[in-house]
Amino acid sequence: MAERSGSDSRRPNILFVFVDNLGYGELGCYGGGAVRGVPTPNIDRLAAEGIRLTNMNMEAQCTPSRSAVMTGRLPIRSGTVRIPLPGQPSGLTRWEVTLAELASSQGYRCAHYGKWHLGDGPGRQPHERGFDEWWGLAETHDSSLWSTSAGYDPEIVPPERLLEGRRGEAAVAVADYDAAARALFDAEAFERGESFMRRCAADRQPFFLYLPLAFPHFPTLPHPDYAGVTGLGDFADAFRETDDRVGRLVGVLDELDIAGDTLVIFTSDNGAEDVLPWRGWTGPWGGSYFTAMEGSLRVPFIASWPGRIPAGGMSNELAHATDIFTTLAAVAGADLPDDRPIDGIDLMPLLDGSSDRSGRESVLCFVADRMHAVKWRNWKLHFIWQEFMGDPPIELSIPRAFNLYDDPRERHDVFLPSNTWVQRPVMAAVAEFWDSVATHPLIPVGTPDPYEPPAAC
């Protein structure tokens, strides 16, 4: 790859590729790749040119993770604790401040191509939340299978639609979203993303490009051009497609001579896909998404910024989805809102090597509106036990403790007799959170606009 040079004459660009349910163990640079039958050379190269984190933690479901990234706040604060239910206001209230709104305030041109999942009603779509333009899906990819389901009646439940919107204009439906459209979805997102970067480069305007892809959310379907290329089925073919498209998009940065002015982030919103026949791999971690297990929360995270982030970096420092908001806001030069708790920490000192610490000691692990576990350093305490998505959550009378260095799959509880001390720092982190809630109450799920917080207690 060509040598890249940077410039400090303007704000850096931000290219954020956010895949959907990618397991920790899938990529070559995280122990997968050829082991899974599909090398990922382009994504591995991106990691080699920058830094990969091995302890990035997301939320247990799609909507909460996207909310945490977009607001820097734990989703329980904003009423986005679960995938929205039909018939209630969904997504973020207008009171929340999004990453795109912060970037826009600093002169960025912002685009979103992919899955939103943070509100489909008036005032809550991407072009109304800081993005200058968007295309994609307001909700999620499951709906692409409706038309093939026995008994499905489009007169009762209309088909999901692909939407397109621009700031200041009404969004319009451009196509139905069925399985055929699902297979074309990521190709369209990448093509639109490339066009957007070229336009911004021609105008010499900094950009925030957010690509929340379909890959590998079920149904994991490759583009027709990639169907059959690996001989290992749709799941593997989709991996080949995504790695190729990421490599092509990063190559455009070189072509436009803006690679040194661009921070690239590649990460996932949750752990491995868990619906057959598209089940993914969590690597060394146990459990499935929709739980507080490591296989649900811990995801690949790669950051590359030639000239700013040293090549070949790796860190196991604790990090969380909310930190992405705070980090990218700092990169964009935006001030954080000061009228609400912001849970994210600026990771840039860790990413650029100026510090070997993330600044984070703990992560509160909520599943919907219940705190199932807390991570503190290399320890994890479970207060509610649920290993897989279909398991019933069990309230524990005595917590289960795991040293994640010794027991990555969370199989052997070591709370009693000698590790009860871990409760002290864990409960201190819990108390700090609930103290903040006493001053800044939680926004209930389904809260409509307009929302104004109650007077500070």
What DSSP assignment string belongs to 107-134?
A: T-EEEEEEE--S--STT-SGGGTT-SEE
Instruction: Tell me the two tokens of residue 449.
Output: 């606009």
pLDDT one-digit tens code per residue, 354-366: 999 999 999 999 9
- Please, which pLDDT band fits residue 434 given cuts at 50, 70 and 90? very high
User: Would you say 44 and 28 are in contact if contact means Cβ atoms under 8 Å apart?
Assistant: yes
- Please, which pLDDT band fits residue 89 given cuts at 50, 70 and 90? confident
Q: Tell me the average pLDDT of the chain.
A: 96
| Distance separating alpha carbons of residues 155 and 142, to the nearest angstrom | 19
Q: Is the pLDDT confidence value at 198 over 60?
A: yes
Q: Is the pLDDT confidence value at 2 over 50?
A: no
pTM for this model (two decimals): 0.96
Average pLDDT over residues 242-260: 98
* Cβ neighbour number for residue 9 with a 10 Å cutoff: 7
User: Would you say 26 and 32 are in contact if contact means Cβ atoms under 8 Å apart?
Assistant: yes
The predicted pLDDT at position 263 comes to 98
Distance of CA 435 to the CA centre of its chain: 27
Q: Which amino acid is at 190?
A: F
The domains found in the chain, sorted by start residue, are: 13-148+159-361 (3.40.720.10), 363-439 (3.30.1120.10)
Instruction: Report the percent of the chain where pLDDT is more than 90.
Output: 95
| Distance separating alpha carbons of residues 274 and 290, to the nearest angstrom | 10
Of 1-5, 23-27, 145-149, 235-239, the poorest mean pLDDT is in 1-5
- Please, which pLDDT band fits residue 102 given cuts at 50, 70 and 90? very high
pLDDT one-digit tens code per residue, 7-19: 345 799 999 999 9
Instruction: Tell me the two tokens of residue 48.
Output: 């080699």
Residue 259 CA: distances (Å) to CA of 6, 51, 220, 388 = 7, 16, 30, 41
- Please, which pLDDT band fits residue 375 given cuts at 50, 70 and 90? very high
Give the catalytic positions in this structure.
Answer: 62, 117
Q: What is the CA radius of gyration of the chain?
A: 21
- Please, which pLDDT band fits residue 65 given cuts at 50, 70 and 90? very high
The predicted pLDDT at position 456 comes to 61
pLDDT one-digit tens code per residue, 21-35: 999 999 999 999 999
Q: Is the pLDDT confidence value at 4 over 50?
A: no
